[in-house]
Amino acid sequence: MDEMKKPFEIELPPDKAEGTYSNMVVISHSASEIIIDFARIMPGVPKARVQSRIIMTPQHAKGLLKTLEENLKKYEAQFGEIKIPGGDEKRVGF
If residue 38 lies in a helix (H) or strand (E), which one and from where to where? strand 34-40
- CA angle (39, 74, 76) in 5-degree steps: 75
**Cα–Cα distance measured from residue 79 to residue 66, given in angstroms and rounded to the nearest whole number:** 20
- Whether this prediction's pTM lies above 0.75 is answered by yes
Write the pLDDT tens digit of every residue in 1-38.
Answer: 456 678 889 999 999 999 999 999 999 999 999 999 99
Q: Where along the chain do its domains lie?
A: 20-79
Cα 2 from Cα 22, distance rounded (Å): 36
Q: How confident is the model over 48-68, as pLDDT tens digits?
A: 999 999 999 999 999 999 999
Tell how far CA 93 is from the center of its chain: 13
